[in-house]
A = this chain, B = another copy of it.
């Protein structure tokens, strides 16, 4: 956070905003040689590592709706989605840069919320906010986050590398985020961003939507142990991930509908709305990892599963030679749902 707002006459107000953010930061680690407040951050990467770099933006009205999601949850998510990308490469996240475009009418309270939510995620993932910038915008609120991580050479997880016969796994649960967002969209007027469903399983889905858990621990375990032949995060849903991994690897895939770890709360929610759970779960942005495992590595996978601290690893299908991608639902063969909208205006 190096400079005042560029582009508004109220530069002093923006100076104050940056000070406000800087005051909220925990002490920087020694590896951050120059932290926020200079022209750029300077960082010493862990010895013998490669750097992992990713950037992703959240735009109001496209990726989130402030009527449904609190500023803190928006800030949390903006960092989580990027950490998830680092995890999907087998990397450990270290630093974040935050680029904020603020429309008129963003109060100090909203700004504090955005930053505090981002810092919550940063603390959970042991990430330091190393810099960024604030600008005014005549358009919607936009948070663009860059995350820098590290990975050991030859421990990098790519999308390409799946081989026919490899098993396909996912971490955690599928469809929870979509069900949680659905519940928020249908929630009665009031303070929706902090509303809680009475049903505990539904509440878990809402929590999942509000604060996705990037799978950094499992990502690094998969990379280090060389268990996975390919890996990708589910930022655009299961359908998109299976398609991308297949395309990058030059393979096809089938998935077992009955094996998909769709939680009961999500299943019931989709059913109550007349939605096909399979389809709804396939386009849910759960930020889980999809990965493929050669059969000879299943022994090592058990080690990873034991270290996964309760996050389930579920076998959901198999990589195939052909280029087709299908779901097997008993005797039925269904095409995999594709297409995805992060956010549809309610």
A138: chain B residues within 8 A (beta carbon) = 59, 61-62, 139-140
A90-108 toward B: CB 8 Å interface, digit per residue (1/0)? Answer: 0100010111010000000
A91: chain B residues within 8 A (beta carbon) = 40, 42
* Contact yes or no, B54 A41, CB < 8 A: yes
Query: For the complex, what is the distance from the CA of A250 to the CA of B116, rounded to whole Å?
Result: 30
* Contact yes or no, A50 B54, CB < 8 A: no
Binds B, one of A118-126, A129-137, A167-175, A274-282: A129-137
Contact partner of A139 (CB less than 8 A), chosen from B11, B37, B139, B235, is B139
Query: For the complex, what is the distance from the CA of A52 to the CA of B95, rounded to whole Å?
Result: 12
* Contact yes or no, A341 B136, CB < 8 A: no
* Contact yes or no, A236 B137, CB < 8 A: no
A158 within 8 A of B: yes
A153: chain B residues within 8 A (beta carbon) = 33, 44
A326 within 8 A of B: no
Query: For the complex, what is the distance from the CA of A268 to the CA of B299, rounded to whole Å?
Result: 77
* Contact yes or no, B148 A38, CB < 8 A: no
A55 within 8 A of B: yes
Query: For the complex, what is the distance from the CA of A27 to the CA of B192, rounded to whole Å?
Result: 49
**Nearest CB in chain B to that of A133: its residue:** B56
Contact partner of A339 (CB less than 8 A), chosen from B11, B52, B57, B62, is B11
Query: For the complex, what is the distance from the CA of A52 to the CA of B97, rounded to whole Å?
Result: 12
* Contact yes or no, B55 A146, CB < 8 A: yes
**Nearest CB in chain B to that of A149: its residue:** B40
A26 within 8 A of B: no
Binds B, one of A81-89, A194-202, A305-313: A81-89
Q: Closest Cβ of chain B: how far from A132's Cβ, in Å?
A: 6
Q: Known interface pairs A62-B136, A130-B53, A142-B142. Does A89 touch B34 (Cβ–Cβ under 8 Å)?
A: yes
Query: For the complex, what is the distance from the CA of A295 to the CA of B41, rounded to whole Å?
Result: 28
Q: Closest Cβ of chain B: how far from A32's Cβ, in Å?
A: 10
Q: Closest Cβ of chain B: how far from A258's Cβ, in Å?
A: 28
Interface centre among A40, A85, A88, A240 (most CB of B within 10 A): A40
Query: For the complex, what is the distance from the CA of A205 to the CA of B317, rounded to whole Å?
Result: 62
* Contact yes or no, A137 B59, CB < 8 A: yes
Query: For the complex, what is the distance from the CA of A338 to the CA of B55, rounded to whole Å?
Result: 33
A315 within 8 A of B: no
A342 within 8 A of B: yes
* Contact yes or no, B57 A99, CB < 8 A: yes
* Contact yes or no, A8 B89, CB < 8 A: no
**Nearest CB in chain B to that of A44: its residue:** B50
Contact partner of A53 (CB less than 8 A), chosen from B50, B131, B151, is B131
* Contact yes or no, B39 A233, CB < 8 A: yes
Interface centre among A7, A63, A158 (most CB of B within 10 A): A7
* Contact yes or no, A38 B99, CB < 8 A: no
Query: For the complex, what is the distance from the CA of A240 to the CA of B6, rounded to whole Å?
Result: 11
Interface centre among A33, A41, A42, A139 (most CB of B within 10 A): A42
Query: For the complex, what is the distance from the CA of A256 to the CA of B20, rounded to whole Å?
Result: 35
A298 within 8 A of B: no
